């Protein structure tokens, strides 16, 4: 048989040969576990300051500076460390008025805004401090949030709880499906631990102070685990 005929026969044999069956992928189980840890907050972060207005920018700034010095005195008297005090949202802005006839806007004065963001580590004094801020002229108090100074141990506990939850679910499903859990193929954290303040149930009230509720801080974690499976 000539060489061209041999090549053609070989090609036809390859085309008509049965395809090899592909192996089915190994069965796996993928589940998500969640864990939560509840703790009492031991610190709060808040922003306080004031807005002052005057005919000139100089007058508005001087008035603001005087009032802010009093706020810093309150912080010093409360024993707030310098590392826990940070100036924020400082601005000097003109105030405008529009002429109804001409529609032309003109500057009628100036406003100065100045705030400090403070970490308060003694929650028993938080209400008294806010009351003192208002007494010395603060007209802006916002962004009060509660937390803990060191969340590392809480995060680790929430992660362990999430893994325990995933393991329990996996064993339940394996028993129900009559399969056996094999080795863990992968473990991934879903989004990472997240802190949030739950019900504000623990009231902290000082004499003649602003009532404050610190609530409970909940640290949550979510983990995704994949197991290999074998038949029973």
> Residues 180, 132: one domain?
no
Give the structural domain span for 171: 26-40+151-231
Determine, yes or no, domain membership for 214: yes
Q: Which residues are CB-contacts of 187 (< 8 A; sequence separation ≥ 6)? A: 163, 223, 224, 225, 226
Better-predicted residue by pLDDT, 212 or 136: 136
φ and ψ at residue 179, rounded to 5 degrees? -125, 165
Over the chain, what is the mean pLDDT? 83
Q: What is the DSSP string of 46-98?
A: EEEEEEEEESSHHHHHHHHHHHHHHHHHHHHHTT--GGGEEEEEEEEEEEEEE
Determine, yes or no, domain membership for 120: yes
pLDDT tens-place string over residues 153-173? 999 999 999 999 999 999 999
Q: 147, 162, 177: which is the final residue of a domain?
A: 147
Q: What percent of the chain has pLDDT over 70?
A: 81
pLDDT tens-place string over residues 82-94? 999 999 989 999 9
Select from 17, 38, 125 the least CA-distant residue to 78: 125
Amino acid 147: pLDDT: 87
Specify the range with the lowest mean pLDDT, choosing from 1-15, 77-91, 96-110, 144-158.
1-15
What's the average model confidence in pLDDT over 9-19?
Answer: 49
Specify the number of domains making up the chain: 2
CA distance 52 to 57: 10
Better-predicted residue by pLDDT, 228 or 18: 228
Determine, yes or no, domain membership for 112: yes
What's the average model confidence in pLDDT over 98-126?
Answer: 88
pTM attached to this predicted model: 0.64
CA distance 122 to 120: 6
- Using an 8 Å Cβ cutoff, are 222 and 21 in contact? no
What's the average model confidence in pLDDT over 1-14?
Answer: 48
């Amino acid at each position: 048989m000539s060489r061209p005929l041999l090549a053609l026969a070989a090609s036809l044999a390859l085309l008509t040969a049965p395809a090899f069956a592909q192996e089915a992928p190994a069965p796996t189980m993928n589940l998500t576990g969640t864990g939560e840890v509840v703790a009492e907050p031991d610190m709060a972060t808040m922003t306080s300051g004031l807005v002052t207005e005057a005919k000139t920018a100089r007058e508005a700034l001087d008035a603001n500076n005087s009032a802010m010095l009093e706020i810093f005195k309150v912080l010093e008297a409360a024993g707030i460390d310098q590392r826990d005090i940070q100036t924020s949202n400082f601005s000097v802005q003109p105030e405008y008025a529009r002429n109804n006839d001409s529609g032309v806007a003109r500057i009628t004065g100036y406003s100065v805004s100045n705030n400090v963001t403070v970490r308060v580590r003694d929650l028993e004094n938080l209400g008294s401090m806010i009351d003192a801020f208002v007494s010395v002229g603060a007209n802006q108090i916002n962004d009060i949030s509660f937390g803990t100074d060191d969340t590392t141990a809480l995060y680790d506990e929430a992660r362990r709880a999430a893994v325990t939850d995933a393991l329990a679910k996996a064993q339940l499903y394996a028993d129900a499906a009559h399969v056996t859990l094999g080795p863990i193929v992968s473990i991934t954290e879903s989004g990472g631990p997240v802190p949030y303040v739950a019900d504000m149930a623990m009231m902290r009230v000082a004499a003649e102070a602003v009532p404050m509720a610190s609530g409970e801080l909940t640290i949550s974690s979510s983990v995704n685990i994949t197991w290999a499976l074998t038949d029973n």
